[in-house]
Chain A
C-alpha cells in the first residue's frame, strides 16, 4: 500500500482555514453515541499566534445543573488522530460520580487543527520543515491560552490526563506548571525516542517523507489504521464518530502535522521540548498514574519501561490484551476515579495504615539459615542435592552453597545488577537455580518466576509485563527469549562460545562469574531492606492472563517462619522438592533440598523410583509434591526395589500442594510412605500457605457430608473472613466473621503476614483485591468460594466464576459434585451453570470410571437411566447430565478442573449445536 501511495504525484492542494464548530450543529447524519451535547462548547483562547477557536468538552454546566461545585479539574488531552470524543466515558463518569464535596470537572479540548477546533490554513504538505503546522511548543502555548480562557480554579487540585501525543503534551504542560498541577495521568504515550533507536515500524511507514502527506492528509489511511486497532473492532457508530471531523481531506491537515512533529531525529524542531519534558519528569514527585494497553504497535512496552524509570513512584495498571485505543477496550474511568479518590480524598489515605496479623513466628531473613548453618558443625553437611546432575556434581554442602551464593552475588553486582533490578530466571530446578536465586535475593534483585506451565505465549506475556532488567537462563530459555524478543540483558548459566554468546546477546555467564569471584567478600554489596521486593511469582492464568504477584523480603521471611513452624522443620531435615514454590525455600528453612530427577514442566512424570533415589541420596525426611506427581508415584510404586521401598519408609512428612487431592489417592500414597503424615496445605500464588489438613482429617471431614473439598483449619497467623454471595453470585462488600456465618457460601477472604505485597503493575486489580479494611487489617480476596463450618474447617467449592446462579440462589459446584462423585460409576465430575446469571440451569458433567459407557448413543448426553441416578444423588434439580472422556484441567497442576471451559462447552451442546470434546 505504501509503495502505491508514494507514486501519487507530489501535489498538495492547499487547505483553507476554517473556524471551530459545534459537532452537534455540524453533524446531521452522524450520531455521537455517549456524548452529551451539554458538554460541548466553543472557546476562543489567546494562543501564541493570536486568538483561536477551540471546541471543548466541559462538564462544568452538567455539574452546575446538579447543584454541585467541582472540587478539582481534570484536563484531558487527546492524541492523533482522535479528538475529545475519546474522553466521553471519563466525562460521563465524572458527572455520575460527582457528589457535594467530591466532584471533578473534566475539560477535554480538541486540539487546534483537530476535532472540531479551528482549522489552520495549509499551503504546503506537512513535513518536518513545513510552515503553518503546530509544533509541540505551539501546542503547549495553546493549552496555556485555553486554561486562561476557561477560568480554572487554580486553588483546587488540577490533574492532567493524556493519550498518545496528548500524553506528551499533557506531561510537558504539567512539568512546566508543576506548582499548579497536582497529579498526572497518562494512557499509552512516550516521552522519549532515543535518537539511536528506530521508530516503531508501524509509525515508520506513515512518517516516510514521500508518504506522509498521502497517508495522513490526502487519504485517511492513518486514521483508518488507528481506528482498526481495538480487538473485535469498534462499534460502527463510535467509529463514525471518531471519523466525523476527519472525513474530508480539508479536515485532516492536523493529522499530518502531528505525524510530521514526531521528533524521531535528534535535530528535530520539537526535540528540545521533548528532551526537556523527559528530563523534567525525573523530578516529578507528585502522584502519577499510568494506564497502559500493551498491544500497541507504536507505544510498546519499552516506552512504558522508560516512563517507569522516570516516574518510579507511579501507579500503573497494565491492561493485558488491550491496545492503543485502550479507552475503547477497557473501562478506565473506574480505576481513574478510584485512584483520584485515594489520592485526593484524605479519608482514603487510611488505607496505608492497614496491617497484617502478626506472623506465626519471628520473621527470619532469607539468608539467616544459610549463614547460621555455614558456621555450625553442619558446614560440611549437604545443603543441596541435585539428582538431575552427574553423579560427582550432585551435592553442595552448606559451606559450598554459601561460598557460591556470595561469589555470584558479588559477580552479578559487579556486572551491574542492582538492588531493585528485576531478574527473570529461566533455569530448571536444581543446585544452579538455588545458587542463582539466593545470590539474587542477597543482592536485593527481584526474582521474576514465570513457570513453563504458562506455555510459551503465557510466559512471553508474563515476562513482557514484568519487563525484567536481566534474564539469567540456560541455552533453551535464552533461545526462547531471543525468539520472542523478551526484554532484559542476558546472562547464561554455562560459559558459551563467543559465537553463541553473541547470537543470544549474552554478556556474561554464571559459571565464569562464579570462577572469577570465588572467595569474594560480600561487604561491598548492600543488603536489601525487609520491605524491598524480593520476588514476582505468576499466577496460573487459569482465570484470565497470569498476574504477577509481588513478595517482599519480609513477607517471604514470614512464609519461611510459618513453614518451619507448621511442619516442624528441625535442623537436619531434608526435603525432596517436587513442588517448586516451597522447594525453593529449602535453604531458607535450613533444610537440605533434594531435586528429584523429573521434568519440571511435567510433574506427572515423577516416578516412585526417582523419589526413592532422591531420598537415598539426600537422606530425605520430607517430600513436597503436586497431586499429578503423587498420582504417578502411586502408579509406578510397583517398580520399587526393596532398598527403595525402605528409603521411602524414612519419609516423615508428605505434602501435596497446588490443587485438591482425592482422599482415595491419599490412601494409596500412605501405603507407599507408611511412616509419613500426609498433609494437603491450601494456598494460592498470593499466599502460599493458608490452611492445612492431614489425611485422617480429610476422612473425618468427609463423613460430615458437607459440599466441596475440605482444606482444613487456618494455619497459625492466618485470619479468615467470609464475603457471603448474593443471588447473582456476587460476594458481599462487607466481610463476616466465620463464626457468624457457619456453612454460608461465600468468597473466602484472608489476612496474614506472609500474603503477597501486591499485584505487579495491576494497580486496579490490586486495589480491588485488597479493598477490605475490617479490623484495620489488609485482606486479600481469594476468588475461591466455599464455606467455613462450625468446627472452623474451610471447604472450597471452586472459583468465584464457577458459582452457579440458579433461580433459587447461588450454588457452589461442590453441592452437586460431592454427592455425584460418590457414585461408583463416576471417576470425577464437574457442575456448571448454563444460561444467564440469576437463572442458570445446572449441568452435571461426568468423567466415568475407566471402561464404563454411560452415554446415550453417540450423544454427549448421559443415558436416561444414569441421568436419573445422578439426579437422585443430589437435592439440586439437575437440568442435564453430560458425559466426557476426560474433564479438562489446568496446565500447571493438571488437577484443577476447568469449569469455565466446561460451562462454555455445555452451553453450546445444550443449545442444540454441534460440538466436539470440551
Chain B
C-alpha cells in the first residue's frame, strides 16, 4: 500500500460548484489526478468528469463513488435560512449515504470537509485546538448538522475507512462571493460601519493556501488519517483591520470605527445589530449569526498540529493575499 495518494489516483470531489470545492478539484486535475466531480450543477472544472446528481439519492451517489481511490467531501447545505430537516437531509443524511456507498464500493479514503463551528459556540477562541464535534452546543442548523456529520465520519473511521477531517476557517480571496464580495460591496456603498473596537483577533484563510493545504491533505491522507485539523493562515488579525484591508483592496475607504457610548457594554451585541441594520436578511451572507460571533470575539487557532500533519506552510501571507485581491479587482472590476 502506498503511503501517499499520488497523482494518477482516482478522486471524487463532491460539491465542486463552490469556490473551494471547484478550486481544489481544478488543482487536482492540474497536478495529474483523475478527478470526478459530483454536484447538481456543472462544476466548471476543466479536465474533470462531471457526475451530476443529488447527495441524497443513493443511485446518484453510488454512480459517483464507483471505482474511486479517494473522496474529498465538500458538498453541504451552507445557509442560515431553511428548515432544519433540509440541513439534516443533506449534511447528515448525505454524508451517511456517501460513506455507505463508499464502503460498498471499496473506496478506502475520505477527506471530510467540516467547519470549526462544529466544536464551538460563541465563546472566545484563543489559539484553540480542534476540539471534538459537539452537536448539542454548536449554534444554528448548519453547525449542528455539520457536527453530526463529523461524528458520522469519525464513526466510519473507526469502522475501517481512512478519514481525515479538515475544518477551514473563513476562506476569502478572489472569486469568493460569500464574505469577500459582500464586504467590498458594502464598503463601496458606505454601508460597512464597524461598531465596537474591531479588535477581536480572527483567523482567516486565503483561498490559494486552502487549495494547497487540501491538496497536501489528500496526498498525505493515508499517513494522517484519523486526525481533525482546523485550517487557517495562522495569522490572526484584528477583525477591524481585516475588514479595512478587504475594503481597501476593493478600492473603498476603510470602514469607520465607531464606539457609541450606549453600546459600551457589549461589543458582541453591537456587531449583531450591525448586521441586522445593514440590509435585508435575505441578502445577507448565509452565516450571519456565525459571522456576528466571528466579529465580536476572538477566533483563532493553534496551527502547529495542522502544519505538521500536512507538512504545509501557507505560501500567501494575509498582506500578500490582500495585494492579490486588489490586483484581481482592479483587473476584472469585481471580486468574483
Contact = CB atoms under 8 A, between A and B. Distances in A.
A841 B300 contact: yes
Given A807-B234, A859-B259, A911-B298, A880 B267 contact: no
Nearest to A909: B199
Interface stretch (A624-632, A830-838, A888-896): A830-838
A868 B268 CA distance: 26
Interface stretch (B22-30, B40-48, B205-213, B236-244): B236-244
A839 B237 contact: no
B61 to A, nearest CB: 39
Contact of A912 (B234, B248, B265, B298): B298
Interface string B242-270: 00110010000010111100001101100
B117 interface: no
Contacts of B240: 856, 859, 861
Interface residues of B, number: 39
Nearest to B240: A861
Contact of B199 (A836, A841, A868, A880): A880
B126 A907 contact: yes
B296 A912 contact: yes
A857 B300 contact: no
A914 B303 contact: no
B127 A910 contact: no
A39 to B, nearest CB: 34
Nearest to A868: B319
Interface residues of A, number: 29
A914 B265 contact: yes
- Most B CB atoms within 10 A — which of A867, A882, A913? A913
A857 B126 contact: no
A527 B138 CA distance: 76
B298 A836 contact: no
A633 B197 CA distance: 40
The majority secondary structure among interface residues of chain A is loop
Contact of A861 (B197, B256, B303): B197
A375 interface: no
A856 B304 contact: no
Interface in B84-100: none
Interface string A270-285: 0000000000000000
A858 B257 contact: yes
A907 B197 CA distance: 14
A864 B267 CA distance: 20
A864 B254 contact: yes
A879 interface: yes
Given A867-B241, A914-B265, A914-B267, A857 B302 contact: no
B257 A857 contact: yes
B79 interface: no
Given A856-B198, A910-B201, A841 B127 contact: yes
B127 A912 contact: no
A860 interface: yes
B302 A910 contact: no
A909 B267 CA distance: 11
Given A840-B127, A912-B298, A864 B244 contact: yes
A871 B320 CA distance: 12
Contacts of A871: 319
A845 to B, nearest CB: 12
Contact of A911 (B126, B302, B303): B126
A838 B302 CA distance: 9
Given A858-B259, A871-B319, A911-B200, A839 B241 contact: no
Given A836-B126, A839-B303, A880 B235 contact: no
Nearest to A837: B127
Interface in B30-68: none
Interface string B170-210: 00000000000000000000000000111111000000000
A882 B200 CA distance: 12
Contacts of B235: 877, 879
Contacts of B265: 914
Contacts of A840: 127
Given A859-B240, A879-B237, A880-B241, A807 B199 contact: no
B317 A859 contact: no
A910 B248 CA distance: 22
A913 B303 contact: no
A859 B267 CA distance: 12
Given A807-B304, A859-B257, A835 B127 contact: yes
Given A839-B304, A859-B257, A864 B197 contact: no
Contacts of A841: 127, 201, 236, 300
Nearest to B296: A912
Given A836-B126, A839-B127, A910 B257 contact: no
A914 B264 contact: yes
A880 to B, nearest CB: 5
B288 interface: no
B124 interface: yes
Interface string B103-137: 00000000000000000000010110000000000
A27 B248 CA distance: 66
Given A841-B236, A857-B256, A910 B199 contact: yes
A441 to B, nearest CB: 52
Contacts of A807: 234, 302-304, 307
A914 B268 CA distance: 10
A909 B197 contact: yes
B297 interface: yes
A80 to B, nearest CB: 43
A911 B258 contact: no
A877 B320 CA distance: 13
A841 B239 CA distance: 15
A840 B126 CA distance: 9
Nearest to B126: A835
A861 B241 contact: yes
A857 B199 contact: no
Contact of B126 (A834, A859, A860, A867): A834
Closest 10 CB pairs of A and B: A857-B257, A912-B200, A835-B127, A859-B197, A911-B298, A912-B297, A910-B201, A864-B244, A839-B302, A911-B124
Interface of A: 807, 834-836, 838-841, 856-861, 864, 867-868, 871, 877, 879-880, 882, 907, 909-914
Given A840-B127, A911-B200, A914-B197, 11 more contacts: A841-B127, A856-B257, A857-B259, A861-B238, A867-B241, A882-B199, A910-B201, A911-B201, A912-B197, A914-B264, A914-B265
26 contacts: A807-B307, A834-B201, A835-B300, A839-B304, A841-B201, A841-B300, A859-B197, A859-B257, A861-B257, A867-B241, A877-B235, A879-B201, A910-B200, A910-B201, A910-B238, A911-B124, A911-B126, A911-B200, A911-B201, A911-B297, A911-B298, A912-B196, A912-B239, A913-B124, A914-B197, A914-B267
